[in-house]
Amino acid sequence: MPVYSAPMENIKFILHDVLGSESLTEIPGFEDASADLVDQILEEGAKICENTLFPLNQSGDEEGCTWKDGEVTTPKGFKEAYDEFTQGGWCGVSADPEFGGMGLPMLVNTVMQEMICSSNFSFGMYPGLSQGAYEALHHFGTQEQKETYLPKLVTGEWSGTMCLTEPHCGTDLGLIRSKADPQDDGSHKITGTKIFISAGEHDLSSNIIHLVLAKLPDAPDGVKGISLFVVPKFLPEDMSRNGIACGSIEHKMGIHANSTCVMNLEDAKGWLVGEKHKGLKAMFVMMNAARLGVAMQGLGIAEVAYQNALAYAKDRVQMRALDGAKYPDKPADPIIVHPDVRRMLLTSKAFCEGARAMSYWVGMNLDISLHHPDPAKKKEADDLVQLMTPIVKAYQTDMGFEISSLAMQVHGGHGYIREYGVEQYARDARIAMIYEGTNGIQALDLVGRKMGQHMGRYLRRFFHPVSEFIEENQANADLQEFIFPLAKSFAKLQQSTAIIAQKGMKDPTEAGAASVDYLRQFALVAMGYMWIQMAKVAQEKLESGEGDKKFYESKIKTARFFFSRMLPEADWHFKAIMSGKDSLMEMEEDEF
């Protein structure tokens, strides 16, 4: 009984009115990506999400994937849906036209990722992993590798994976044991075991292209000895079976319809991608693309959970409103009249709309960083993407799980049973906080790498525009209720940044102890920056009489809720940061 409708009005508002995404048409190669064309493509994308992928979500969860003799079968209907998806060209929305892609901005693909994740989280992981493989090969592959693999990845005839994790190491990839022995023909024989490989084996595509991390015989210790290899399931020259196979699939809490595989390599034939011992660099290209994709999973699952909670709250009648009956013709009022239900719904709505603006903003800057003809603008955009990627990944996946939990709470007892579908959203959402770098690792990346990199240059790409916006709008009467809370929270973010930098230089544990609170504080301020821009645009639309009055009034009311009920959380994180490391670190291990 779950429901989902792509939030096209909100999507268009962010793309066109808030971000002005049509400015991307000024970039060579994107000239034809007008607002009208982008809207048409996204509306078609919404149809396949709503009509093909969403109806398979609950049944796919209940059936799951099955493994037999090294082969994996996906749930009923998934193969047909994948064929429809690939035939529609959805695997190549933002791919290079040289290899058969549409050549549209990555921003369009980012929006599609949200809708796909809302409609069928597990299904979306199959083409999502292919995109990571495509990006690595497109950036670092030889011309021969590009010509061999990219056209088929773009059509979806072949799919891709990332094979990083091993039984004894996840985050610390310097510990990997997989070996690559050079052969006379320029290939390598690769041996090892990889675990937690999403979409590592399935029946959707005719070949699976694995990007595998391994070490050459002369590799130095640690991460400086990692190399990246392309290892196809079937060898392209004759489609003979390669020495890589699925040993088993994991039995998991959620994402049942996606195969999470143990992959065994025994003298598997592979080819070096990029420079030897430089696999970490190539891996981060895959990981950054994947982390933004995972951020969209957090948003996507939150959106569909919110939609279901809202539908239930409007339909379910229980008790009367505290100030008297609102629907006297009914035996009780719909639960949406109750303050706590409204708190949960408004938290969900404010998050989804704010996160949509924030992640689309990052997606738009990703396009600028990759394609803008001005090197200075490319660098500025890349700085912002590098800074914001760990923030959107961690915050949006944390909140994806939280919003899913709130949706269950709105449903009461019905939320805990399968019939209504929302318990699946909580189970599916939980993995996004873990994979592609746990959220604690994202926080360490933010304070350990991004904060001090290039003498704070990354931070300035966020701090400067926020500071300028506050200064330019501080006298705007329509924004007073928003501008001062934002300015106050922003000032505290700058203060905590300085304190962490100062303490962290003397004691890295101080920075580590503050990292998770700092990331959440940063995310809330960033979302406040998005919400005040949305409120400003909505106010301007109301004054001009344009568009749907109720839509814009709702935006301002939601902004008011965010600034009064959600942004104050940043103060709590500020206080936790200021408390230092002692309360975390003083306890001896045997005292736990």
What's the pLDDT tens digit per position in 211-225? 999 999 999 988 889
Confidence (pLDDT) at 344: 98
Catalytic residues: 436
Provide, rounded to the nearest whole percent, the portion of the chain with pLDDT above 70: 100
Q: How many CA atoms lie within 13 A of 237 on its CB side?
A: 5
187: pLDDT confidence band, cut at 50, 70 and 90? very high
* Residues above pLDDT 90, as percent of the chain: 93
- Identify which of 22, 142, 149 has the alpha carbon closest to the alpha carbon of residue 95: 149
Give the per-residue pLDDT at 169: 84
CA-based radius of gyration for the chain? 24
| pTM, 2 dp | 0.96
What is the topology classification, in CATH, of domain 158-282? Butyryl-CoA Dehydrogenase, subunit A; domain 2 (2.40.110)
pLDDT in tens, 504-529: 989 999 999 999 999 999 999 999 99
- Report the number of secondary-structure helices (H) and strands (E) in the chain: 17, 9
Pairing of strands 227-232, 207-214: antiparallel
Tokens of 220: 């130095």
- Contact at 8 Å (CB) between 464 and 456? no
How do the domains of the chain map onto residue ranges?
8-152, 158-282, 294-314+350-406+424-582
CATH 1.10.540.10 matches 8-152? yes
- pLDDT for res 281: 81
pLDDT band, residue 174 (cuts 50/70/90) = confident
Q: Which residues of 475-485 are buried (b: 16+ CB within 10 A; e: fewer)?
A: eeebbeebbeb
Asked if residue 33 lies in contact with residue 97, where contact means CB atoms within 8 angstroms, the answer is no
pLDDT-derived band of residue 283, with 50, 70 and 90 as boundaries?
A: confident
The residue-averaged pLDDT of 333-350 equals 98
Helix (H, G, I), strand (E, B), or coil: what is residue 182? Answer: strand
The CA-atom distances, in angstroms, between 59 and each of 79, 158, 255, 429 are: 14, 25, 12, 17
Neighbours of 592 (CB within 10 A): 5
Q: Identify whether the C-beta of residue 173 lies closer than 8 Å to the C-beta of residue 212.
A: no
CA 227 to chain centre: 26
Dihedral angle sign, alpha carbons of residues 536, 540, 545, 547: negative
Per the rule left: phi > 0, alpha: psi between -120 and 50, beta: everything else, 241 is: beta
> Could you report the per-residue pLDDT of 61-83, keeping only the tens digit for each?
999 999 999 999 999 999 999 99
3-state helix, strand, coil in the chain (%, to 5): 65, 10, 25
Instruction: Please say if the pLDDT value at position 290 is more than 90.
Output: no
What whole-number distance in Å separates Cα of residue 132 and Cα of residue 435? 14
Q: What is the mean pLDDT of residues 493-509?
A: 95
Nearest to 99 by CA among 157, 133, 150, 155: 150
- Is the pLDDT score of 193 beyond 80? yes
